[in-house]
Structures are given as structure tokens and as C-alpha cells.
């Protein structure tokens, strides 16, 4: 199965009438790291929430999202959420238990993993993000950068095959940002990154996808797309500094 994410003609309207997605389509292939960029309000976050079934679980409409071939429906939701892990923007939204251990253990516990196995998984996930020392700390004592890394650990402990990151480098200081980038580079998963950080996209993503007004405007090689002045301007973006000659 090479097409790990397939979105076909996805449309979505919020209860107050705003149309967030307009016949959006995209295909993501196994092992890719793809950047999703676009102006604020383009529909990035809404799109991401469809990929693990938080939005769009409407049983009447034929499912427009398939993860590794499996349609995202209410029946398959547990399986889908095992495969897809989303790290949200605000780590305070993701670290909702009193201790770091409890947070990283949350996912595996809900997936029915045996209680004896949990401490091992927790330690391994924290090791991957370099935060094992914090295993018994309380979340609110940590710095923003530390919380971000632990948020990632809480998803890695679920062993997803697809990792989705929403603004991973927002508000990070340069050192933490660098650490986070190396972390992502070390992961061998299919990765989707929704971000404003265009330099990040250049560094990590083979491919980039531009979303605007709920539609898939363009997708292609990162360097090429990001150097395209008119394309960038039209979509509320600009050519990143490193590409300007």
C-alpha cells in the first residue's frame, strides 16, 4: 500500500456556515515528509482534523478520507487513530494528566496495551525525544520547549505509522527549534507538517502542498514551489529568505 493518505473531494462546513474545505483532494505516499502551507484560515487545521476522524465522521456521506486504504468511518475509528498520530499546536492541550508518565502512557493504555508493558514504552518514547529525566515531573513545571518534546512523545508511544504535526516550531527558541528538527529527521515515518515556518519546509520536506480557501492549489517539489514568487504571493506566502538571490 503506497498511498497512505488519500483525500478525495473533501468538503467541510462549520456549524456557523464557514466553508473550511472545498472539494479538497490530496494523496500522500509512504515514507514522504510533506509540508502543508498556506495563509491563516486556509483550512490547514481543519484538514488535519479530518485525517484522524475528529471531523467528518458523517456516516451518510461516502468517506472522502482513506488511511492506508481504510476508510475513515465511525466503525474503523480505533484502527485509524492507531495509525495516525497528531501533535497539536499548543502542548498544554495535549498534556492533560498531572504527570509526564501518565500523559505518555495515555495512548497505549487506551489502545489496550498490557499494564506491564506500559513503563517500557513510556521510557522508550521519552528516550526518543531526549526527555527521560522528566518522567515523573508534573507537566506544568516544564518549559515550553520541553512540553513540545513531551507532546511528541505522547504520540510516539502510540507507535503510529503516520505522524502529523501542526505548527511544530511555533514559539520555540532557536535551540529548541533545532533540536526538534533533528528529532523529526530521526523518525522513520510518513510525516505531514502544517506550518508557517517555510525554512523548516525546505529543510525537512521533499514535497510541499499549498492550501488556500479550502482547496489544494498546488503541490510539488519544495524548492521549486517555494521559489515561485507569484505562486507564493497569490497564496498569502512569500519566498523564504534562503531562496532569495
User: Residues interacting with other proteins, by CB under 8 A?
Assistant: 49, 52, 54, 78, 81-82, 85-86, 88, 90, 92-99, 101-102, 105-107, 109-111, 115, 118-119, 138-141, 154-155, 158
Q: Which is nearer to other proteins, 155 or 198 (CB)?
A: 155
Report how many helices (DSSP H) and strands (DSSP E) the chain contains, helices first: 10, 10
34: cell is: 510533506
Q: Which is nearer to other proteins, 55 or 177 (CB)?
A: 55
Which residue is listed with cell 512523545? Answer: 153
Q: Which is nearer to other proteins, 118 or 217 (CB)?
A: 118
The CA–CA distances, whole Å, from 90 to 87, 165, 169, 245 equal 9, 11, 11, 35
Give min distance, CB of 243 to other proteins, in A: 34
Give min distance, CB of 173 to other proteins, in A: 17
Q: Which is nearer to other proteins, 69 or 112 (CB)?
A: 112
The CA–CA distances, whole Å, from 49 to 81, 159, 170, 238 equal 11, 19, 19, 26
Give min distance, CB of 237 to other proteins, in A: 26
91: cell is: 502542548
Give min distance, CB of 179 to other proteins, in A: 22
| Cα–Cα dist 25/175, whole Å | 36
Give min distance, CB of 36 to other proteins, in A: 17
Q: Which is nearer to other proteins, 140 or 175 (CB)?
A: 140
37: cell is: 502551507
Contact present, 154 and 148 (Cβ < 8 Å):
no
Amino acid at each position: 500500500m503506497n498511498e497512505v493518505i488519500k483525500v478525495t473531494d473533501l468538503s467541510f462546513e462549520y456549524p456557523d456556515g464557514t466553508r473550511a474545505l472545498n472539494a479538497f483532494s490530496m494523496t500522500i505516499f509512504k515514507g514522504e515528509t510533506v509540508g502543508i502551507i498556506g495563509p491563516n484560515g486556509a483550512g490547514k487545521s481543519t484538514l488535519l482534523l479530518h485525517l484522524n476522524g475528529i471531523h467528518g465522521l458523517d456516516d451518510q456521506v461516502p468517506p472522502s478520507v482513506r488511511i492506508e486504504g481504510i476508510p475513515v468511518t465511525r466503525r474503523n475509528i480505533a484502527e485509524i487513530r492507531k495509525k495516525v498520530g497528531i501533535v497539536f499546536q499548543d502542548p498544554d492541550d495535549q498534556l492533560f494528566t498531572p504527570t509526564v508518565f501518565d500523559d505518555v502512557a495515555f495512548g497505549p493504555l487506551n489502545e489496550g496495551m498490557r499494564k506491564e508493558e506500559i513503563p517500557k514504552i513510556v521510557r522508550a518514547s521519552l528516550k526518543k525525544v531526549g526527555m527521560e529525566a522528566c518522567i515523573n515531573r508534573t507537566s506544568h513545571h516544564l518549559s515550553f520547549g520541553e512540553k513540545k518534546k513531551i507532546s511528541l512523545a505522547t504520540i510516539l508511544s502510540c507507535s503510529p505509522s503516520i505522524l502529523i504535526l501542526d505548527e511544530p516550531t511555533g514559539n520555540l527558541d532557536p535551540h529548541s527549534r533545532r533540536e526538534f528538527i533533528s528529532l523529526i529527521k530521526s523518525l522513520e515515518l510518513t510525516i505531514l507538517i502544517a506550518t508557517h515556518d517555510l525554512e523548516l519546509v525546505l529543510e525537512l520536506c521533499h514535497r510541499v502542498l499549498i492550501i488556500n480557501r479550502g482547496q489544494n492549489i498546488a503541490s510539488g517539489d519544495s524548492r521549486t514551489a517555494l521559489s515561485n514568487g507569484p505562486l507564493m504571493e497569490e497564496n498569502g506566502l512569500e519566498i523564504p529568505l534562503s531562496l532569495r538571490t
